[in-house]
Amino acid sequence: MQRQRFGLVVLLLIGLLLLLNACGGGMDTSKARSRDVIQSGGIAPAEELRVGEYLNYYEQHFAAPVNTALGLDLRLGNTQMPADGGEAWLQTGIQARTTASEEIAPLNLALVIDSSGSMSTTEKMPYVKQSLRVFLRSLAANDRVAIVTYSNDARLLVPSQQVGDGAWIEQAIDRLGTGGSTNLHAGMMMGLEEVARNYDVRRNNLVILMTDGIANQGVTDSTSIASAARAYNDRGIYLSTIGLGRDFNDALLSELARQGKGNYHFIDSAAEMDKVGRRKLAGAVAMCQGGCL
């Protein structure tokens, strides 16, 4: 019997939609980043066109699994299978069960915020503040949060403390200002050290790093910055990154999030900031306990 040949193209939509349990593999930057470059009249660099992140950008809304932790969704793109050869498209999706709130470990979180002069524009710091307010209001009273800012050097704006009634958070956000250069390494290290100082195996230990620029103060070598972070990642402190504007180091932020088993997002508009603030950052509240996928 003559064997029929089919070019089976498998489109893996492994955007693990963990909703309240999203951690690791949550990178969706490439879509928003390339869109911004194209709209500004440029051509997106090939190394920034990461297919997996394009897929993760869109919420698929697969059916929730029943009586199992993971559900598999298979959809054939062809209405009929070609009898004489050709292509058949198969979409494969994986949906995780939503984690019940009582199963979520409390946070030990440090927010590391770029406060350099370039953050002063109307489409950056105001939206960062707005997004942080939305995100931080979603935290539990027993979560621990520290806020670090950095420009020429790093500053511990608020040492790690329990959220409590959250009143101090609004005051801290109001104090965020801008000016100076971008000492990303100093800010990142202070955030990692603050989380390490309060490390608790019963908590989700996480740093979220925001920046709109390329490191130009202090340690600026990308390999050295990533290596410094890895020492903390290996101890179970996770790292997520957020890029704003057009002039940040995409490769570095991507690598920091990948090795830190965190998420990497790009913000190019108020709408995107709102999306990340309300959905993506809020997902950090439920970072998986004891390790990430």
Model confidence over 211-255: pLDDT tens digits? 988 899 999 999 999 999 999 999 999 999 988 877 778 889 989
Whether 95 shows a pLDDT value over 90: the answer reads no
pLDDT of residue 279: 52
* Low-confidence winner among 45-49, 148-152, 260-264 (lowest mean pLDDT): 45-49
The structure's pTM equals 0.69
Contacts of 66 (CB under 8 A, 6+ apart): none
Whether 177 shows a pLDDT value over 80: the answer reads yes
For residues 47-64, average pLDDT = 70
pLDDT of residue 185: 96
Q: What is the dihedral of CA 250, 256, 262, 264, to 10 degrees?
A: -10
For residues 99-124, average pLDDT = 82
Chain-centre distance for alpha carbon 136: 16
More confident residue, 181 or 130: 181
